Amino acid sequence: MAREAGGVRERVLPDVLAEAIRGTAEDIAAVLRTAPAAAGSTAGAHGGGLPVPRSTWTVGEAAAHLAQANALMADLAAGHDRPYGDGTPGSLADANAHALAGFGERDPGPLAEMITAQAAAFLVAVEERDPDEPLTTPLGALRPAVLGSYLLTHMLGHGYDLALALGRPHMLDAHRVGLSLPFMTEVMPRVTDPAAVAGLTARFAVRLRGGQGFGVLVTDGAVEVTHEPPARPDCTILTEPVTFLLLALGRIDPWPVIARGKALGWGRKPWLAPRFPRLFRAP
């Protein structure tokens, strides 16, 4: 249960995180509600048949996945046991496919309502948790506030996809990306690509323009993330916050970003900068 301090009940999620979760869900729903007009009559029923760029999913499938994932997160926040893969990209992809096959809704309108309703359910359920007691998730045990950051990160990634598919402005900004960092930095060691880090030893300092920074230490394939950048990094990476998240989630490629100056790398081994995003496999 949430703690009380001085007779005042402390919230499990910071207010800014709760507001970002609620606002992101509403922004995604607003994008989905444009689907019929944006899709026209040739893209499938209710616009759900439009393809999502860089994905095998349609708009309807991506929105259905997001509705299901938000429901999963709400159940986890309520303390329910919901096995969902073993945390590896392949197992999560299989779990996603199995879940979608058993869920027939593809109409963006109803799915928009499900996405916001399940985000709201998560916010209610998580406030009943002990803030220090980890919850079981598809990516391992996470404290409730980090689970909230996970939910936000997942919605931002798929919300970006849906906005791109429907030709609408996306809902990512520096503030929301900053709130995704507790999840991103905690799970980085768990989503490392073993082949990409094999034999590598390097110290990375990652800094977001105008915001936070952290360190990633790779020692012969073992990965450690630190809350502060290392004092003597081999490679310092400075990137615009939204660009950082899109790179981390595999939505964009490093070289065009570097060419446009949205990500810079320097230090003793600057050539490691474009390699950095490929050290990890977004689940």
Structure tokens, 245: 């998240």
pLDDT computed for residue 80 by the predictor: 92
Number of other CB atoms surrounding residue 238 within 10 Å: 17
The pLDDT of residue 10 is 81
Residue type, 44: G
Whole-number Å distance between alpha carbons of 122 and 273: 37
In this predicted structure, what is the pLDDT of residue 192?
A: 94
pTM, entire model: 0.93
Residue 188: pLDDT band (50, 70, 90) is very high
- d(Cα 191, Cα 174) in Å, to the nearest integer? 23
Distance from C-alpha of 64 to C-alpha of 115, rounded to nearest angstrom: 9
Instruction: Give yes or no for residue 86 having a pLDDT over 90.
Output: no
> How is residue 181 written in tokens?
């960092």
pLDDT tier for residue 62 given thresholds of 50, 70 and 90: very high
Q: How far apart are CA 72 and CA 140, in angstroms?
A: 14
SS3 256: helix
- What would be the CATH architecture of the domain defined by 189-279? 2-Layer Sandwich (3.30)
* Distant-in-sequence, close-in-space partners of 189: CB < 8 Å, separation ≥ 6: 223, 224, 225
Q: What is the C-alpha separation between 199 and 60, in angstroms, rounded?
A: 42
Q: Taking a C-beta distance cutoff of 8 angstroms, is the pair 65, 140 a contact?
A: no
Residue 247 token pair: 């790179």
Distance CA 22, CA 111 (A): 15
**CA-CA distance, 123 to 80, in Å (whole number)?**
15
Kindly state the tokens that stand for 99.
């879940």
3-class SS of residue 224: strand
pLDDT at 211 exceeding the cut of 90:
no
In the chain, CATH 3.30.1050.10 sits at 189-279
**Mean pLDDT of the residues in the chain:** 92
Q: Report pLDDT digits (tens) over 14-37.
A: 999 999 999 999 999 999 999 964
pLDDT beyond 70 at 118: yes
User: Within 10 A of 109 (CB to CB), how many other CB atoms are there?
Assistant: 16
Judged against a pLDDT cut of 70, whether residue 208 lies above it is answered with yes
For the chain, residues classed under CATH 1.20.120.450 are 4-171
In the chain, the percentage of residues whose pLDDT exceeds 70 is 93
| Pairwise pLDDT comparison (5 vs 241), residue with the higher score | 241
Determine the pLDDT at residue 90. Answer: 87
Cα–Cα nearest to 31, from 144, 143, 156 = 156
- 83 or 243, greater pLDDT: 243
CATH class of 4-171: mainly alpha
